[in-house]
Structure 1
Amino acid sequence: MAALKYAGMDDTDSEDELPPGWEERSTKDGWVYYASHDEMKTQWEHPKTGKKKRCAGDLPYGWEQETDEKGQVIYVDHINKRTTYFDPRQAFTVEDVVVKPKRYDGNTAALEILQGRDLSDKVILITGGNSGIGEFHKITGSNGINSLLESFGIHKARVEAMMCDLASLRSVREFAESYKAKKLPLHILVCNAAVCTQPWRLTEDGLESTFQICHLGHFLLVQCLQDVLRRSAPARVVVVSSESHRFTDLLDSCSKVDMALLSPTKKEYWSMLAYNRAKLCNILFSKELHRRLSPHGVTSNAVHPGNMMYTSIHRSWWLMTFLFSLARPFTKSMQQGAATTVYCAVAPELEGLGGMYFNNCFRCLPSIQAQDQSSASSLWELSERLVAERSAGIQAL
């Protein structure tokens, strides 16, 4: 940028050479910034060229990134026993080129969004991957892993199926412990599993099954893995909800989330209403999760996958199967249905952003109650209490 010139700066032999009094540093995630010791200020742009840069690649062998007592990033060279503020990767910085994000819509397929994305160092966990759109989130049951990867032209990805029954809080805890035992990071967690039009039944934890599978099981899963997410930051959680959340409410006369609505008796139960309430829980949960974990580098967004999308979620009710069959020519494919979830999981423009609701790869406003912070806090407190009570019951046994 030849037109950019700062008054009072001495010319140097190289365009990229810093003027006297300036120092080049980098953030924890590799973005380069510049500090002026004379003016006591920092900025992202190079003081001469106006360019932005980021560090490329991993730290050299023997180097480790740490944080000092002032919260500044420092680099430790264990081989030569020295510490510096200078990122050794800065010798291989690349210029930050601003690329306008591509616009996606309801016709976009998941693989379009994944095209050109390098996820080779990412660990992604997706619930409900044995059928439906979970397959198109790149995780599936053990019988289908090889065929799924081959159909997508994916040959180097490592995919593993793990068993977790969201209808059992005990199973969720066991799954979380098994995952932690692998000593893996967790960069993206997709809370995708759900059931719809289920006949009334109570889980082994004494709760209505639709509510527990769609919401409370995921709530506990995130609670158990939140330390892994925080250590892996920046990390993302994507909670799959539905537009059907707009057709219900969760509050009692005191404006608190009503447990009787979430886990009704058999006499008061209507399967579609139970699903709608669980999907409202999904958005409120995502909103409160983002508020609590975003200071630690973990963001969360909720999504609607697609109107009348044909999946196996409807399999428990013959009438829904019939209606989906009639509507199938006008519904989204599973590739299209997975697109919004994939967009929220990998889109660079969403880095650090959360607490939102997306439909057709586009941010939109959910229902009034889904936007209500007090409802989100009330649901979180109720969920914590339900999990704690059942944990205490297990320990008592």
Structure 2
Amino acid sequence: MADDPGTLLDSDSEDELPVGWEERSTRDGRVYYANHSGKATQWQHPRTGKRKRIVGELPYGWTTGVDENDCQYFIDHVNKKTTYSDPRLAFAVEDNAERGEITQRFDAYSTCKSILLGRDLTGQYVIITGANSGIGFETARSLAIHGAHVVMACRNLKKANAAAKKIRDERPEANLEIEVMLLDLASFRSVQQFAENYKLREWPLNILILNAAVFGLPWQLTEDGIETTFQVNHLSHFYLFQLLKNVLLNSNNPRVTVVSSESHRFVNITGNNFNVGNLSPPKNEYWSMLAYNRSKLCNVLFALELHRRMCNHGIACNVLHPGNMIYTGLPKNWWLIWFVYMFVRPFTKTLSQGAATTVYCATARELDCVGGLYFNNCCRCVPSDESMNEGTAMELWEISERMIKESLSKHNL
């Protein structure tokens, strides 16, 4: 959009538009300004230079429509009026996304319900890995109840179908759109089959939530010959994105949301530590806690690099920490950690609070086309210096591609 200052000296009010200017909005809520005398448009307010964005749902009794020129209009059913002006324009907030600033609206006590209050996600197609229990289940439940078409990508179909039934039974009258599909992240063959099955359905993919993780596993190799924690928590998610990338690119406002952990701060993988032998170590060099922390660092590096590579193509990616020691099935493989989780359970987040940051990153309007950020407690914060090293992220990307290619070639996949 071109900038044209127009006539700026005919009002004492800073926010009042000059003569010949009109305030409008795009479908994704971004406010722009039309200069009728100069026949130009711009994102910045002609007086203040600020950018604005519309947030929140339409007032009671309002709906939208699209005319023959593909322009959005607004219908006031109460007063039986139609207008091309969004009724929320008067309450638009400053859009600081261009400067990397996100206004905090929620915190550690926020729940999925508060974040999605009034939201209608009908028409949004979502994949959630590891959705049959814990934070993944709560994420699937919350998005489905608000109208999204949710695909629960899980290894255990029996548990996943039971979880889906539990969600449907909560709102039997709503005919919730929930699908269960097999995805075993310990198998590249399974990742391939899942992606192919999804593509065969010819659905779009608006939100990809990479949530599944394992913790505290004893050393073991997957069928692809890779250490399990690294493959499940990072490498298969990396591969899944690659296989579904074109589906995301052909969908409206696609987002990728990666669930990591504050544990990413307690490890580094630069220098001599950064090689395939350390990412997927032999048995005598394996420690489950280190493997988990390393995989969570890989999550952050991957998410930030994904956004750098794909933001100009329309895919936004953010990464998050859901909360400390939330009681889920994650620590079940390590009895001592499980005991600690049980002990602190009354003092930690509920599942709805734990899933809130995931839901926020996946759906918040202020994050439309905004990515490359790390969130904790629904608030943007700074990840570790290690995770923001672009050189390390690029190297991890290349190593991940190479490991997958070599494994696929070895197993004739």
Pick the TM interval, shorter chain.
0.7 to 0.9
What SS does structure 2 have at the residue aligned with 1:301?
A: strand
- How far is the alpha carbon of 1:295 from its aligned partner? 0.8
CA distance change for structure 1 residues 33 and 355 in 2, over 3 Å: closer, same or farther? closer
Aligned partner of 2:162: which letter? N
- How far is the alpha carbon of 1:147 from its aligned partner? 2.1
- How far is the alpha carbon of 1:217 from its aligned partner? 0.6
- Partner Cα separation in structure 2 for residue 8 and residue 369 of structure 1: 50
Structure with larger Rg? 1
Counterpart position of 2:80: none
- Partner Cα separation in structure 2 for residue 351 and residue 162 of structure 1: 27
What SS does structure 2 have at the residue aligned with 1:237?
A: strand
Aligned residues: 357
- How far is the alpha carbon of 1:376 from its aligned partner? 0.8
Aligned partner of 1:87: which letter? C
Aligned partner of 1:98: which letter? A
In structure 2, the gaps of 5 or more residues are: 1-5, 11-16, 75-82, 95-102, 142-151, 153-159
2:233 corresponds, among 186, 208, 214, to 214
1:94 corresponds, among 61, 86, 97, to 86
- How far is the alpha carbon of 1:391 from its aligned partner? 2.5
CA distance change for structure 1 residues 303 and 7 in 2, over 3 Å: closer, same or farther? closer
Counterpart position of 1:109: 111
Verify the 8 A CA contact 2:65 2:72 in the aligned structure 1.
no
In structure 1, the gaps of 5 or more residues are: 10-15, 64-74, 76-85
CA distance change for structure 1 residues 260 and 307 in 2, over 3 Å: closer, same or farther? same
CA distance change for structure 1 residues 286 and 92 in 2, over 3 Å: closer, same or farther? same
- Partner Cα separation in structure 2 for residue 154 and residue 265 of structure 1: 52
Counterpart position of 1:195: 214
Deviations for 1:242-275, whole angstroms, at most 9, x for unmatched residues?
A: 011111111233xx83222110011100001100
Aligned partner of 1:167: which letter? A
Counterpart position of 2:97: none
Identity of aligned residues (%): 47
Q: Which runs of structure 2 are paired with 1:32-111 in the superposition (5 Å)?
A: 33=32, 39=38, 41-44=40-43, 57=64, 59=66, 87=71, 89=73, 92-95=84-87, 96=89, 97-98=91-92, 103-111=105-113
Deviations for 1:223-242, whole angstroms, at most 9, x for unmatched residues?
A: 01111111113111110000
What SS does structure 2 have at the residue aligned with 1:162?
A: strand
What SS does structure 2 have at the residue aligned with 1:339?
A: helix
Counterpart position of 2:203: 184
Verify the 8 A CA contact 1:340 1:360 in the aligned structure 2.
yes
User: Is structure 2 residue 190 aligned with structure 1 residue 171?
Assistant: yes
Verify the 8 A CA contact 1:26 1:87 in the aligned structure 2.
no
CA distance change for structure 1 residues 149 and 7 in 2, over 3 Å: closer, same or farther? same
User: Is structure 2 residue 290 aligned with structure 1 residue 288?
Assistant: no
- How far is the alpha carbon of 1:146 from its aligned partner? 3.0
CA RMSD of aligned residues (A): 3.3
Aligned partner of 2:202: which letter? K
Counterpart position of 1:162: 181
- How far is the alpha carbon of 1:352 from its aligned partner? 1.7
